[in-house]
């Protein structure tokens, strides 16, 4: 992660589960790191043995948190919705009776009126 855009992409991939296994595979301890740096000894410091534990626990916590957030927003919107009153039901009934005049056989369409 050499720059901020890479970090943002990395976190987005982890939070959304978008091919996060590539991130996990890139941070595991491997025999060949694919990097020829003198400070990177193969099977020593080219990754972490704790990477799978971190990624799986992070993904589980992120998914549960996001799911709880979505559920909280939905419940809050239901809480703010006013209950259906008797006058609203009466208006719907009145509209249904008026619609029968225009569509007596219930085709759910009325003929176009031409001028």
> What is the tens place of the pLDDT at every residue in 61-77?
888 888 899 999 999 88
Q: Is the pLDDT of residue 35 over 80?
A: no
Instruction: Say how many Å lie between the first and final Cα of the chain, rounded.
Output: 69
Verdict on whether the full-model pTM lies above 0.75: no
Closest C-alpha to 9, from 27, 21, 23, 25: 23
Asked if 13 and 19 count as a contact pair (C-beta separation under 8 A), the reply is yes
pLDDT in the model for residue 97: 87
pLDDT in the model for residue 44: 53
Asked if 47 and 29 count as a contact pair (C-beta separation under 8 A), the reply is yes
Distance in angstroms (rounded) separating the CA atoms of residues 115 and 19 = 60
- Tell me the pLDDT of the chain averaged across its residues: 76
Count CB neighbours of 79 within 10 A. Answer: 7
- Dihedral (C-alpha) 6, 12, 18, 24: value to the nearest 10 degrees? 60
Distance in angstroms (rounded) separating the CA atoms of residues 20 and 14 = 5
Q: Report the run of H or E that residue 52 belongs to, with start and end.
A: helix 51-80
């Amino acid at each position: 992660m050499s720059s901020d855009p890479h970090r943002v992409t990395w976190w987005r991939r982890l939070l959304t589960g978008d091919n996060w296994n590539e991130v996990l595979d890139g941070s595991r301890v491997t025999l060949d790191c694919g990097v020829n740096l003198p400070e990177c000894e193969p099977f020593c410091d080219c990754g972490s043995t704790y990477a799978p534990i971190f990624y799986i626990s992070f993904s589980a916590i992120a998914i549960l948190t996001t799911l709880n957030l979505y559920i909280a927003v939905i419940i809050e919107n239901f809480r703010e919705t006013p209950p259906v009153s008797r006058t609203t039901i009466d208006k719907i009934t009145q509209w249904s009776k008026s619609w029968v005049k225009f569509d007596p056989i219930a085709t759910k369409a009325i003929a176009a009126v031409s001028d």
